[in-house]
Amino acid sequence: MADKGGLEGIVVARSRLCSIDGQKGVLIYGGYDVGDLAEHSSYEETCFLILRGRLPRRDELDAFTSDLAAASPLSGETAAVIDMLASHAAPMEMLRTAVSADSFDDPDKDSNAEEANFRKATRLIAKMPTMVARYDRRRRELDPVEPDPGLGHAANFLYMLSGERPDQQAARTFDVALILHADHEMNASTFTARVIASTLSDMHSAITGAIGALKGPLHGGANEQVMHLLMDIGSDENIEQEIRGRLDRKERIMGFGHRVYKTYDPRAVILKRYSRTLAERSDEPHWFAMSEHIEKAVMEEKGLYPNVDFYSASTYHYLGIETGLFTPIFAMSRVVGWAAHVIEQHGDNRLIRPSSEYVGPALRPYQPIEQRTAPEAA
Ligand SMILES: CC(C)(COP(=O)(O)OP(=O)(O)OC[C@H]1O[C@@H](n2cnc3c(N)ncnc32)[C@H](O)[C@@H]1OP(=O)(O)O)[C@@H](O)C(=O)NCCC(=O)NCCS
């Protein structure tokens, strides 16, 4: 295969965390199929698995769950940063800044020791939903809702966002969405986190950098673009024409295609099911129907399968979540994967420092400024 750049197919780390079979459409966390985890597990249990490499016993899960609940309120300093940003920062700008600011008063800030990193990971998993919900309520000029330690991780986020305790179906749907986004092998943001960790920089720096990488529309930012696509197209009868037009203009259809999956993304299969169920009880069933129709059109025109972002868009919309929060939600889930990769990198580190092939000008003499008449070739 000719090298198209983008490190395609290059192995950059040995990892016990996550594997993908892109031909068969299989995703595995620590030896468990993501479909089984979506069926039987919770986000809290999946976090334990990803961080510790095995499923917890009951007492371990209870202890981890209560550690998360205890860590979910924000420090006064981080809350103040979010309040200051709420009216003018975009959601991912806020999250990048709030996570960075949260390192200032982290009790383990000066340690990269494994147990310190586990504690920092737990705190970041716990606090990121509180950050996103606080920001969203502040920008809507509502008072923040403090986390309820009696609710699960997923339900708590929906509660802090809306001020109402979600029903069982909404809470479970969101829990499954968090499980499905929790880790994904050597994706761009995880690679970013590992590169930062490999300089022996700290957990918060690695997660802040990963948030920056996730923000782009070719990565985590795609889920928001999918909702914009649905809204731009607006109705079912325009779909074939719109999709054909966009592909003819060489535009990318967001939520389709993948570097690794050459078949259906297994996460999209599961989210499609949840989106369909939510559509059936919604007064806006057309978002799911349109999504299915777009899927068919993109497959027929370009042979591309939907990825995780495609059906997460309508799923989150049905849960009453504003489009601008879709990518922060991705980050809230993926933080466990990033943190586990940072711990793995710190545990067996060598500086990640690849090379580039030089294609610039040959060696040339330095010209004093007075002698420079025409602009030199770059
Ligand atoms: C994810 C993505 C960046 C992977 O890209 P990649 O591995 O670098 O693949 P390439 O960019 O080399 O694309 C290969 C071919 O498929 C096409 N393609 C890939 N994804 C496409 C999409 N979503 N819409 C239209 N065409 C697409 C490319 O134009 C290219 O076609 P060509 O060979 O005719 O030029 C790409 O599929 C994409 O941009 N998808 C949309 C954004 C998205 O949903 N991102 C979330 C990923 S989870």
What is the structure's pLDDT at 376?
Answer: 59
Task: Note whether 298 and 304 are within 8 A (CB).
Answer: yes
**Residue 309 falls in the annotated catalytic set:** yes
What parts of the chain have a pLDDT lower than 70?
A: 1-2, 376-378
- Indicate the average pLDDT of the chain: 96
Say which of 184, 258, 317, 346 is annotated catalytic.
258
What is the structure's pLDDT at 190?
Answer: 98
- In tens, the pLDDT along 161-196 reads 999 999 999 999 999 999 999 999 999 999 999 999
Task: Note whether 142 and 118 are within 8 A (CB).
Answer: no
What DSSP string describes 187-204? Answer: -HHHHHHHHHHHTT--HH
The set of protein residues with a Cβ atom below 6 angstroms from ligand 1 is 6, 218-219, 222, 252-259, 302, 304, 307-309
**Residue 219 falls in the annotated catalytic set:** yes
What is the structure's pLDDT at 2?
Answer: 58
Q: Is the dihedral of CA 186, 189, 194, 199 positive or negative?
A: positive
Task: Note whether 288 and 236 are within 8 A (CB).
Answer: no
**Which atom in ligand 1 lies closest to the alpha carbon of residue 259?**
7
What is the structure's pLDDT at 377?
Answer: 60
**Residue 62 falls in the annotated catalytic set:** no
Q: Which of 27, 218, 243, 265 to mutate to test the pocket of ligand 1 (most atoms within 8 A of CB)?
A: 218
Hey, which bits of the chain come out as E strands?
Answer: 18-21, 26-29, 32-33
For the sheet containing 32-33, what is the strand order?
A: 18-21, 26-29, 32-33
What is the structure's pLDDT at 373?
Answer: 85
At 308, give phi and psi (nearest 5°). Answer: -55, -30
Q: Which of 155, 131, 159, 129 is nearest to 145 (CA)?
A: 159
The whole-angstrom separation of Cα 26 and Cα 264 is: 9
The whole-angstrom separation of Cα 266 and Cα 7 is: 23
Structure token pair of residue 106: 């982290």
